[in-house]
């Protein structure tokens, strides 16, 4: 497995763990809606959550170079970031479904 895919898998595992933790925290803190209510450091200005910040500031340059050199693929860096956004939306939807059941 290439380093790129190992990095993607690692990132997915981290995001998945964070989503599970957020879902569990939501169950424990029903009715609380802000990060400060559950004693978390608030995300940077302009980002509703740390996950949004992570996705929007995701460094695609290293992954792009690695794919270009190792696999001779010139993937669109904007498409990489959009794929991360799509995965985050899917994880949020799954967390919502889980918390509603």
- Tracing tokens 């050199």 back to the chain, one arrives at 69
Q: Identify the pLDDT of residue 30.
A: 46
- Long-range contacts, stretch 17-21, CB < 8 angstroms, 24+ apart: 18/50, 18/51, 19/51, 19/91, 19/92, 19/94, 19/95, 20/95
The two three-digit tokens of residue 25, written as one number: 């925290």
Q: What is the pLDDT of residue 66?
A: 86
So what's the pLDDT on residue 34? 52
Distance, in Å, from the CA atom of 17 to the CA atom of 29, rounded to the nearest integer, reads: 18
**Tens place of pLDDT per residue across the chain (101 aa):** 566 666 666 666 666 666 666 666 555 444 445 554 556 789 999 999 988 999 999 888 888 888 888 887 777 888 888 999 999 999 999 999 998 88
Say what the pLDDT of residue 31 is: 47
pTM confidence score: 0.54
């Amino acid at each position: 497995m290439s380093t790129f895919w190992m990095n993607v898998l690692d990132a997915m595992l981290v995001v998945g763990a964070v989503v599970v933790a957020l879902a569990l925290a939501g169950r424990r803190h029903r009715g609380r809606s802000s990060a400060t209510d559950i004693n978390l450091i608030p995300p940077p200005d302009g980002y509703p959550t740390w996950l949004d910040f992570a996705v929007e500031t995701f460094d695609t340059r290293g992954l792009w170079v690695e794919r270009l050199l190792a696999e001779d693929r010139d993937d669109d860096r904007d498409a990489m970031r959009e794929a991360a956004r799509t995965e985050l939306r899917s994880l949020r939807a799954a967390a919502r479904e889980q918390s509603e059941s």
